[in-house]
Amino acid sequence: MSVNSNEQVDPQCEHALRVAVERVVRPVYADEARKMRMRNELYAHALDAFRHERGRGVAAAQAIAAAVDRLGEPAELTAELQADTPWGSRYGAFIEQMTRRKAATPRWRFAAWMAFIGMIIVPGPMVLIQLIELTGLTRLSSPEHSEVFAKMMVYFACMAASCFGVAAYFGSLVREELAGEPRRRAPSWRVVGWSMTAGLLFLVAGLFFFPIVGSPSLLWHPVYVGCWLTLSVLVAAGMIFVAWSDVRERRELEQDWLALEID
Amino acid sequence: MPPQLQLTGVQLRGHLETIALAALEEGEAHGFEVLRRLEKSGSGALKLKEGSLYPALYRLEERGCLKARWEENPGGRKGPARRIYRLTPKGRRQLQAGREEWAAFVSVIGSIVGAPA
């Protein structure tokens, strides 16, 4: 199987091979990182097969058909890839689906949805423990502790809702801004501003909900405020980083693969 | 020349993994190279649907039988990076077990159908 790896492949041929690969990979229910790996590997393979056929003197159109045929029946291959997809990757796909904002969804609605998700998943384990305690089958803590526990649960639920909502709202603003400036090497001041605002709102939420768990007199304690300030800066920096990497990945995906019409 | 076999991943499931491990015993390789080696060692008789190799490679990697990395320097090669696979010690043990299993299978089935190995 001799392959001239340096042979320039016509863009139309590349497109045809990409479509063939996308037909196999798009229906697989797995997280995007795993699917990108499948796409890259199968595409590299299809290109090598195409070059191999061309090296044998086969015309371009026939070489594409042969390369696609060599990969196998798309539905069969999709089923095989799906069968070997671990549950972690399927769960990742589910999370991606739940947390991805569709173009038509208003930003505020997406933020509200994310706030709801945060409110459920972050204090979820605590709710479970409380429910177990309510059944009376087991007592994990004393009644006094249960009271504190319940307050903590409410506090975490409020904080999670605020953080997820704020991150979703400002994160989508940041993402859109970054997506509109493909060649920039550093985030614009607007991106930094939105991220800082998100961090600041995180700080405000932390202070606002504090009376649920602690005495308001402790609210302005330097240690407490210091902790929240540090966390706010980290949230802002984290948001820029996550949005930046997400945009790069999505750009590659959308331009190269998701835009392909496979039907 | 033995008759041409058109084997799909479903038919080969169970054996395809041992076949892939055997091909990688020669040294690390990407998927296309693994198939090239299989074609060479099978004297062209084995014609499998090439895409089926990748689910097998993923399974083996997830079980720790293979280690994989993206091709670092395609050396002027045009096109996407390929993933290079290599055998791990666990993969070598798995290959040995696969060989023993295959020998037992051929021995048993061969005597049943009247064509001992």
SS (H, E, C) B54-116: HHHHHHHHHCCCEEEEECCCCCCCCCCCCEEEEECHHHHHHHHHHHHHHHHHHHHHHHHHCCC
- Best B6, B7, B12, B32 residue to mutate vs chain A (most A CBs within 10 Å): B32
Determine whether the interchain pair A45/B77 forms a contact, defined as Cβ–Cβ distance below 8 Å: no
pLDDT block averages, 10 residues each, chain B of length 117: 55 79 93 90 73 90 93 66 92 94 87 81
Q: At CB < 8 Å, which residues of chain B contact A?
A: 8-10, 30-32, 35-36, 39, 49-52, 54-55, 58-59, 62, 74, 76-83
**CA–CA separation, B69 and A120 (whole Å):** 38
Residues in chain A: 263
Residue showing tokens 């005597």: B111
Contact in structure between B55 and B116 (CB atoms under 8 Å): no
**pLDDT surpasses 90 at A235:** no
Please give the single-letter amino acid code of residue A70: R
Residue A31: which residues within 8 A CB-CB, separation 6 or more?
Answer: A89, A90, A92, A93, A95, A96
Cβ separation B62–A81 shorter than 8 A: no
Q: How far away is chain A from the Cα of B82, in angstroms, using its nearest Cα? A: 6
Q: Which of A40, A42, A83 sits opposite B51 (nearest CB)?
A: A42
CA B46 from centre of chain: 11
What is the 8-class DSSP label of residue A100?
Answer: P
- What is the sign of the dihedral through the CA atoms of A209, A213, A219 and A225? negative
Whether the predicted pLDDT of A250 surpasses 90: no
Instruction: Tell whether A6 is within 8 A of chain B (Cβ).
Output: yes
Element holding B48 (H helix, E strand): strand B46-48
Task: State how far residue B37 is from chain A, nearest Cα, in angstroms.
Answer: 9
Kindly state the average pLDDT of the residues A66-72: 91
By C-alpha distance, the chain A residue nearest B60 is A84
> What SS3 string covers B8-22?
CHHHHCCCHHHHHHH
A224 sits in which H/E element? helix A222-253
Determine whether the interchain pair A80/B9 forms a contact, defined as Cβ–Cβ distance below 8 Å: yes
Q: Which H/E stretch holds residue B53? A: helix B53-62
How many angstroms separate the CA atoms of B34 and A190, rounded? 50
Residue A140's SS3 state is coil
Min Cα–Cα distance to chain A from B62, Å? 9
Whether B54 contacts A42, CB under 8 Å: yes
The minimum CA-CA distance between A143 and chain B, rounded to whole Å, is 46
Tokens 């423990």: give the residue: A129
Least CB–CB distance from B50: residue in A37, A70, A76: A70
* ipTM attached to this prediction: 0.83
Q: Sheet containing B83-87: which strands, arranged edge to edge?
A: B29-30, B83-87, B66-70
pLDDT of residue B73: 61
What does the pLDDT read at residue B94? 94
Tokens standing for A137?
Answer: 């089958």
Cα distance from B115 to chain A (closest Cα, Å)? 32
- pLDDT tens digits for range B11-34: 566 788 999 999 999 999 999 999
pLDDT for position A29: 95
B35 with A42: Cβ contact below 8 A: no
What are the chain B neighbours of A257 within 8 Å (beta carbons)?
none
Least confident among A2-6, A97-101, A196-200, B55-59: A2-6
